[in-house]
Amino acid sequence: MDLGSTLFYKYQRFIKVLKIYLLLAGPGLIVMLADNDAGGITTYTVTGAKYGYGLIWFLLLLLPVAYVVQEMTVRLGAVTKRGHAEAIFDAFGSFWGWFSFLDLALVNWLTLVTEFIGMTAALAIFGINPLITVVIVSIVMMLMVLQGKYWTWEKIAMLFAALNIVYIPAAFLVHPSVGQVLSVGLIPHFPGGFNGTLFFFLMANIGTTIAPWMIFFQQSAVVDKGMKEKDIPWGQVDTLIGSAFTVLVAIFLVVVTGTVLYGSEVESAAQAASVMMATNPWLGTFIAIGLFNAGFLGAICISLASSWAFGEVFGWAHSLNMKIREAPWFYICYLLALVTAGSVVLIPNAPLVLITLFVQVIAVTLLPAALVFLILLLNNEEIMGKYRNTTWQNIAGATIVIAIIILSTLYGITTLFPELIG
């Protein structure tokens, strides 16, 4: 075969592989980019403003962490055809089932409130009234699910997920010194020495990387998409690409705020966007749109994770492939979550900061349980068959799970008792 034929053959093969991937891609990419939700964007913004490029190396470490945990949900969903809530009930009985389910419902609802806080704050920069934001967002989110096809919902969600990479062009607008980004950012060190504040930031960055809703969402999405055992490798590639993107977006955002806001006291992404708007309107606009999109993406995934979990536990029909009349409770749960969480943001003088802190603490009560159940389920031969964890997967999974449990617990405790870190 000559060179031209070989190249053409490889090109055709590549196109075929790409087409299959695009068919099966979705849950991994969406969950990972939604991981950079309003809370995540705020954490990265403040990290960049506080430590410049100094913690980029740490963000890179979060790629394998996110991948190892989320990859397990792909296998579990594809093999058992059950969401995580139902899998916990079935494997560990009703006590742990109810605990996980009720905790998830509470954490998700509180997190949904924080997504609305992010969205309303982002659009307020453009002078848009929070009421209008909440109403329009809720309508758009309802329309997304009411069209009656998982596939369509997924592709629309992927479009919003693609908007999440708005921070990459934003980084080019600030003209960072590439040499400095590489020399400061990629060499592991603790800027200003290891102290309580730095530790809190490290924990916050880990806390935003793995959240309980992500485990429940991806597993349910894999099931609703109808992925089978043979699709697991594609789901793994999807999750890996998603993990790479989530870290890339975080790094580029840190580069933006590390270049423009380094050394300034910034408390939120919305505040950062307002400050940037005054000096560079394009940049401020990018950051504000990114924050809104992050909140939106997080909200669509979190509200769906809750609705799927309700359906799984109560035995209601729960699929995006069903119409309202076929799965009324599924859509009622979804609508109720949106309306109630959105309404909280509109209450004058609502304790929004307290809610944001409370999310971190409550999430800590669920995350270890969800992770431990994941490892136990993935090790059960009766449930997983030949797809159970290998020794190396267990070593990687257990190490990461133990590290996340320790760090997220310390994060929750220091949120409760800030005086501990001085």
Partner 1 sequence: MVTIESILGIRIGGIIRGWADKIHEINKKYEKPRITMSRGVRLALLFLRLYLILLVLLLGYKFWTLL
- Tell the smallest beta-carbon distance from residue 87 to partner 1 (Å): 10
- Tell the smallest beta-carbon distance from residue 182 to partner 1 (Å): 40
- Identify whether the C-beta of residue 66 lies closer than 8 Å to the C-beta of residue 205: no
Q: Of 315, 347, 349, 386, which one interacts with partner 1 (CB under 8 A)?
A: 315
85-108 b/e with 16+ CB inside 10 Å = b? bbbbbebbeeeebeebbebbbbbb
Q: Of 6, 94, 147, 340, which one interacts with partner 1 (CB under 8 A)?
A: 94
- Tell the smallest beta-carbon distance from residue 99 to partner 1 (Å): 8
380 binds partner 1 (CB under 8 A): yes
357 binds partner 1 (CB under 8 A): no
Of the candidate spans 7-15, 168-176, 281-289, 364-372, the one that interacts with partner 1 by CB under 8 A turns out to be 364-372
Q: How far apart are CA 397 and CA 386, in angstroms?
A: 17
* Residue 315: how many other CB atoms lie within 10 Å: 9
Q: What angle do CA 237, 34, 45 make, to 5 degrees?
A: 115
Q: Of 171, 294, 377, 378, which one interacts with partner 1 (CB under 8 A)?
A: 377
Decide: residue 178, CB within 10 A, 0-12 exposed, 13-18 middle, 19+ buried: exposed
Q: How far apart are CA 62 and CA 281, in angstroms?
A: 31
Residue 336 contacts by C-beta under 8 Å, 6 or more apart in sequence? none
# chain residues binding partner 1, by CB under 8 A? 29
Residue placing its CB nearer to partner 1 in the complex, 57 or 96: 96
* Residue 267: how many other CB atoms lie within 10 Å: 12
Q: How far apart are CA 314 and CA 48, in angstroms?
A: 44
398 binds partner 1 (CB under 8 A): no
Q: Of 69, 74, 412, 414, which one interacts with partner 1 (CB under 8 A)?
A: 412
Report how many helices (DSSP H) and strands (DSSP E) the chain contains, helices first.
18, 0
- Tell the smallest beta-carbon distance from residue 31 to partner 1 (Å): 24
Q: Of 277, 361, 384, 421, which one interacts with partner 1 (CB under 8 A)?
A: 361
Q: How far apart are CA 381 and CA 307, in angstroms?
A: 29
368 binds partner 1 (CB under 8 A): yes
Residue with tokens 């309202």: 324
314 binds partner 1 (CB under 8 A): yes
Of the candidate spans 65-73, 257-265, 303-311, 373-381, the one that interacts with partner 1 by CB under 8 A turns out to be 373-381
Of the candidate spans 108-116, 156-164, 205-213, 410-418, the one that interacts with partner 1 by CB under 8 A turns out to be 410-418
**Helix (H), strand (E) at residue 401:** helix 391-416
Q: How far apart are CA 244 and CA 356, in angstroms?
A: 27
48 binds partner 1 (CB under 8 A): no
- Tell the smallest beta-carbon distance from residue 372 to partner 1 (Å): 5
Secondary structure of residue 132 in the 3-state scheme: helix
- Tell the smallest beta-carbon distance from residue 365 to partner 1 (Å): 5
96 binds partner 1 (CB under 8 A): yes
Contact residues: partner 1, CB under 8 A:
89-94, 96-97, 99, 313-315, 361, 364-365, 368-369, 372, 375-377, 380, 382-383, 409, 412-413, 416-417
